[in-house]
Amino acid sequence: MSDAPTAPPAQQPAAPPPPMEDKLVLACSWGPENPERATVPFILAATAAMSGRKVIVICTVDGAWMGTDRIVDVEEDGFPPAADLRKTLTDNGGEVWVCSACASKRGITGDDASEGCSVVGAAAIVEALGNGQAFSPC
């Protein structure tokens, strides 16, 4: 028998974390009346879409306007224009969903939805929230 110290048994590497759902669901409830809060979800969404993530921005309440041409009214000093961010998002496979109840209250129809944007019902929104990582930035 040797008196030499022995190395402790090697530790097994930790198991990798479970894979994260690939879909990111962001909420936007602000519109032209608060351009900073309306733009932040689109900054996050455009960035995620450019990195290959599936992204849906769900526009509710006054955020319903963000799925229409009124998005051109949304610009905040120091931020890229919201319209450019939405285009980057949709050009990279992202989607913009407008809550149908919120759209209806504001007189927005499917015909008012901009390219890459859809007016969707509560069932579709609940399904997306249940199958993705939901985040409300503001």
Residue 45: which domain range? 23-135
pLDDT at 118: 95
**Percentage helix, strand, coil for the chain under 3-state DSSP, each rounded to 5:** 40, 15, 40
Flag whether 1 is in a domain.
no
Flag whether 88 is in a domain.
yes
Q: Is pLDDT of 26 > 50?
A: yes
Q: What residues contact residue 46 under an 8 Å CB cut-off, 6+ apart? A: 85, 86, 88, 89, 92, 94
Domain count, the chain: 1
Q: What is the mean pLDDT of residues 101-126?
A: 93
**pLDDT classification of 55: cutoffs 50, 70, 90:** very high
User: Is there a contact between 49 and 93 (Cβ–Cβ < 8 Å)?
Assistant: yes
Q: Largest Cα–Cα distance of the chain, in whole Å?
A: 87
Q: Model pTM?
A: 0.80
Flag whether 7 is in a domain.
no
pLDDT at 7: 57
User: Is there a contact between 107 and 63 (Cβ–Cβ < 8 Å)?
Assistant: no
Mean pLDDT over each residue of the chain, to the nearest integer: 86
Q: Is pLDDT of 19 > 60?
A: no
